[in-house]
Copies of this chain bind each other. A is one copy, B any other.
Amino acid sequence: MKEIIQEVLAFRDERDWKKYHNEKDLAISISLEANELLENFQWKTSKEALAESKENIKEEVADILIYLIQLADKMEINLEEEVSRKMIKNAEKYPVNRKGEAVK
């Protein structure tokens, strides 16, 4: 993941955009991008959405991760470590013997 983090941060710094970045607006940006992703599925089944707009869906997925990387940099957190830590918490919340139960 280091390579894409470096790409994203180099892109930001070449444009001198870090000065605009604050955590609240980055969180807003993630919600906006998540809804641009979701827009592809409006009035459609998953199958229809993928048939019509798979390329755009992939781009919106990338946009969300790009903003996550920038928020993580701003907060000085390591995304991979945070995921690992959260997975441990999730494993306690949803022990394996509850197999097949609905995910929250």
Contact = CB atoms under 8 A, between A and B. Distances in A.
Nearest to A59: B86
- Judged by DSSP, the binding face of A is helix
A79 B100 contact: no
A96 B14 contact: yes
Give the interface residue-count category, chain A: 35 or more
A41 B27 contact: yes
B46 A66 contact: no
Interface of A: 1, 3-4, 7-8, 11, 14-17, 19-20, 22-25, 27-46, 49-50, 54, 57-59, 61-66, 68-69, 71-72, 75, 77, 79-80, 82-87, 89-91, 94, 96, 98-103
